Structure 1
Amino acid sequence: MTEDPVRKLLSELTPSEAKVDAYLGDTYVLETVDQLERLGLDATTFAREHSLLLLKPDAIVARAVESTLEWLSGNGFRVVSAHRVVVDRHLARALWYFAWNIASPERRRLADLLVGISDVLLLVVHGADGDLPVPVRLAEAKGATDPRKRRPGDLRYLLGRHNYLLNLVHSPDDPADVLRELAIYFDERTRAQVLTQAVTGIDRSAAAAELASELYAGVPERSFDRDAAFARLYTELGSVAPESDAECAELLAAAMASGRELDAWSAIVLGSYVFPMRVGSQSQTLRPIGAKDWLEGRP
C-alpha cells in the first residue's frame, strides 16, 4: 500500500506520531503544503530551514522589537520577512488549538483582552539546518513559558518580563508547526508573497524595525509592574483592598464579569499574577515537542 504523501512529509517534520495524526486532517497544514507545491518549493526544506517568531501585543507594549532583532542576529537567525498582523480571539485559539485545553478560563479571558491591545509583528526567520531544524533551535533558544525555567541567554530571559502569561514572544515547536501557523497568520495571497520573499534569503531586519515604529505609535509603553496595575484598578474600583491573591483574583474576576469599564492593560497585568494559568485536571491534546524529543526521534 502506498504511504500517504502528507503523512510521509509530516513524519519528517515532527517526531510526534500524535501530531502527525492530528495534522493529517488540519486545514491550515494542508493549505500550506498545497501552496508550497504549487510554488515549486520543497515543503520539508522550507519548514526545516525557516521558523516564525511572533512578537505579541505585550512585546509591542514593552518596546521589545529592537532587542529581539539584535538577539536573533547574534544567535544565527536572519529575518527574511516581516509583517504586521491583526490578531483576535479566533487567531489565538487557532494557534493553540491543540494545547489550550489546559488553559484556565481566566487565562483565556486575559488573552482575549491582550489581543485587543495592539496588532502584532510576525517575523519569518532563516537559519542553517543541522542536527536540530531551525524551528526547534529557535523554540529552545527563546526560553520556556515558565519564568522559573528560563536561562541567561534565552530571548525571554533577555527581554526581562518574567511572567507566565506576558511572555512577549511565540514560535512554533517544530517544522510541522511552521506549516500550520503560516496558514493561520496569512491568507493565500499574502502567504504566497511571504513564502517567495522568505526564500530569497534577503535580510529584512530594517523592515521589521520600521513596522515596530508604526506599531509603537499606536499603543503607549506601559508598566508590567503588579503594584502599579493594582493601584490603577483599585482606584477605578474604589473597593476595600484585598488581603490575599485569592481575594484579589475574586475581586478582579467579578469586576471583569460585571462589564465595568476597566483599564484593560492593568487588568491583564494584575490578572497574570493572581489568576490560575492552567487547569491541572486536563491533559493537553498535543504536548510540546523539545530538542530532546527531536534528537531521540520519539513523541
Structure 2
Amino acid sequence: MAVQQWLRAPFTHDPVRRRTYPDDVYFREMAALLDGRDAGETERTLGRTTFVMFKPDAVVGRRIEAALDLLAGHGFAPLGALEVRVDARVCRELWRYQINAAPLAVIRAVDMILESGPPCLFVALRCTQGPERTGMTAAERLGELKGSSKNRDTGGGSLRGALGCELMCLNFLHAPDDCADLIREVGVLLSGRRRDEALAMLAGEPSPGRAAEVAAAARRLYAAHPAHSLAPTPGPLPPAVTDSDGLLARVDELAEDHGGLPLWDRIVIAAHLVDGLPSEGTALIGPPPGTRLNHPRTSRSTQAAPPGAGGNVPATTTLPARGPTPAVVAADQ
C-alpha cells in the first residue's frame, strides 16, 4: 500500500501530517482504494480538484447558491453533489486532530448544528485555473480562500467573510486544507461505494449540466428545510456565565429544549454564548504551512453583502449582549 505516495509534495507540505496519517485508518483505507487506480491520472485529479461541504446552517441560512456563485468567480466549477449525514461521531472523526483543543461547550454547540435536521451537502469542485497557473493544488487554494471561523474577516476577502460569517460555530462550510486532508476526509465522510462515487465525481469534467445538478441539489434542501435568520442581534443581558463548565451546562439546556424555543433560535443562542471561548489545549494538527489566515491570494471580488435568507424568515433571534471576548484559538470547524 503506497500510503507515503500521497503524503509527498504537492499533496501535503506538512511534516506533522506526514508523521500522523500513515497511522490513520481512514487515510490508509483511501490510499488502498487509490492504489487500484491509474497513478498519473489520480495525481492530476487530486491536484486540480477538491470539495466543499456545506453545513446545516448554510441550508437554513440560504448560503449555498451564493457560495457557489462566489466559488465560480474564483474559478471553481462544481462537478457533482452528495448529501452527507454528519452526526456527533463523524464530527469527532472528521476534526479528530483539531477538536481535541476545543472547549466541550463549543463541541456541544457544533453537535447541535450538525444534528439539527438538514444533511450536509458535499460538492466536488474543479479548479479551472489548475495548479500550473496558480502554483497551488485546488485543495490548498480553497483552503486559503475559505477563511477562518476564528479570525473572521469582515471585509469579504474570504468566502466565509463574504457569506456573512459572524459567529465561530455558524461558519457555513468546510473544505480540506490540502490533498492529504481531502483523501482522509472523503474516507471519514463516506463509506463503501460512496467513496468510489466521490472519486469518480472528482475525476469528472465541468459542464453546465453538472452545475445545474448541484444547484438543484441545493434547492431540494431549501425546499425541505425552512429558512431561519442566523444573525446575532444583542438583547437583554442574562445572568453572566463565563466559566467553561457553566457554559457547557447552559448549552446542554438549550440542546434539551428547556423553555420551548424553536431549535434554530436555540442554536443561534448557543453559538453566541460560546463565541470567543479560548481553547483548552493545543490542536494535534493545525493548518498546513502557508498564509491562510491572511488570505493573500483572495480577491476583493468576493466582497458581497450577506445574502438574505429568502422566503418567510423568522425574526432575528434575540441574544444576550456581550462584551469583548478573548481571541478564539479553539478548533476551526
Query: Normalising TM by the smaller chain, what interval?
Result: 0.7 to 0.9
> Structure 1 residue 150: deviation in Å?
5.3
In structure 1, distance between residues paired with 2:194 and 2:89: 19
Answer whether contact 1:136 1:290 (CA < 8 A) is retained.
Answer: no
TM-score by length of 2: 0.76
In structure 1, distance between residues paired with 2:185 and 2:68: 21
1:265 aligned partner: 264
Letter in 2 for 1:7: Q
> Structure 1 residue 225: deviation in Å?
2.7
In structure 1, distance between residues paired with 2:188 and 2:76: 22
Answer whether contact 1:252 1:267 (CA < 8 A) is retained.
Answer: no
> Structure 1 residue 145: deviation in Å?
1.4
1:36 aligned partner: 34
Q: Relative to structure 1, is the Cα distance of residues 187 and 249 closer, same or farther in structure 2, using a 3 angstrom cutoff?
A: closer
1:184 aligned partner: 188
In structure 2, runs of 5+ residues without a counterpart are 293-333
- Match status 1:141 vs 2:140: no
> Structure 1 residue 269: deviation in Å?
0.8
Answer whether contact 2:168 2:271 (CA < 8 A) is retained.
Answer: yes
Q: Relative to structure 1, is the Cα distance of residues 292 and 275 closer, same or farther in structure 2, using a 3 angstrom cutoff?
A: closer
Alignment of 1:49-64 (within 5 A): 49-64=48-63
In structure 2, distance between residues paired with 1:264 and 1:41: 47
Q: Relative to structure 1, is the Cα distance of residues 71 and 25 closer, same or farther in structure 2, using a 3 angstrom cutoff?
A: same
1:6 aligned partner: 3
Q: What do you get for the CA RMSD once the two structures are aligned?
A: 2.6
Q: Which moved more, 1:191-200 or 1:244-253?
A: 244-253
In structure 2, distance between residues paired with 1:50 and 1:76: 11
Letter in 2 for 1:242: P
2:231 aligned partner: 225
Deviations 1:62-121 (A, max 9, x none): 111111111111101111121111221111111100110111111111111111221111
Say which SS state the counterpart of residue 131 (structure 2) adopts. Answer: coil
Q: Relative to structure 1, is the Cα distance of residues 53 and 290 closer, same or farther in structure 2, using a 3 angstrom cutoff?
A: farther
Answer whether contact 1:53 1:125 (CA < 8 A) is retained.
Answer: yes
- Match status 1:195 vs 2:194: no
Q: Relative to structure 1, is the Cα distance of residues 251 and 97 closer, same or farther in structure 2, using a 3 angstrom cutoff?
A: closer
In structure 2, distance between residues paired with 1:256 and 1:282: 25
Letter in 2 for 1:10: L
Answer whether contact 2:2 2:35 (CA < 8 A) is retained.
Answer: no
Q: Which moved more, 1:246-255 or 1:196-205?
A: 246-255
> Structure 1 residue 258: deviation in Å?
6.6
> Structure 1 residue 163: deviation in Å?
1.6
In structure 2, distance between residues paired with 1:224 and 1:65: 14
Q: Relative to structure 1, is the Cα distance of residues 37 and 226 closer, same or farther in structure 2, using a 3 angstrom cutoff?
A: same
Q: Relative to structure 1, is the Cα distance of residues 219 and 87 closer, same or farther in structure 2, using a 3 angstrom cutoff?
A: same
Deviations 1:167-196 (A, max 9, x none): 101100111001001111222212212222
In structure 1, distance between residues paired with 2:69 and 2:241: 37
Say which SS state the counterpart of residue 63 (structure 1) adopts. Answer: coil
Answer whether contact 1:51 1:172 (CA < 8 A) is retained.
Answer: yes
Q: Which moved more, 1:257-266 or 1:132-141?
A: 257-266
Q: Relative to structure 1, is the Cα distance of residues 205 and 123 closer, same or farther in structure 2, using a 3 angstrom cutoff?
A: same
Letter in 1 for 2:43: T
2:238 aligned partner: 242
Aligned length: 280
In structure 1, distance between residues paired with 2:71 and 2:12: 23
Say which SS state the counterpart of residue 123 (structure 2) adopts. Answer: strand
More helix by share: 1
In structure 1, distance between residues paired with 2:140 and 2:115: 29
In structure 2, distance between residues paired with 1:200 and 1:150: 35
1:126 aligned partner: 126
Q: Relative to structure 1, is the Cα distance of residues 175 and 257 closer, same or farther in structure 2, using a 3 angstrom cutoff?
A: closer
**Identity over the aligned pairs, expressed in percent?**
26
Deviations 1:177-227 (A, max 9, x none): 010011112222122122223212133221111111111122111111334
2:65 aligned partner: 66
Q: Relative to structure 1, is the Cα distance of residues 169 and 257 closer, same or farther in structure 2, using a 3 angstrom cutoff?
A: closer
In structure 1, distance between residues paired with 2:177 and 2:121: 18
- Match status 1:208 vs 2:214: yes
Answer whether contact 1:104 1:276 (CA < 8 A) is retained.
Answer: no
1:255 aligned partner: 253
Letter in 2 for 1:196: A
In structure 2, distance between residues paired with 1:250 and 1:10: 38
- Match status 1:80 vs 2:79: yes
- Match status 1:18 vs 2:16: yes
Answer whether contact 2:59 2:221 (CA < 8 A) is retained.
Answer: yes
TM-score by length of 1: 0.84
Alignment of 1:87-106 (within 5 A): 87-106=86-105
Letter in 2 for 1:84: E
> Structure 1 residue 256: deviation in Å?
3.8
> Structure 1 residue 38: deviation in Å?
1.4
Q: Relative to structure 1, is the Cα distance of residues 137 and 212 closer, same or farther in structure 2, using a 3 angstrom cutoff?
A: same
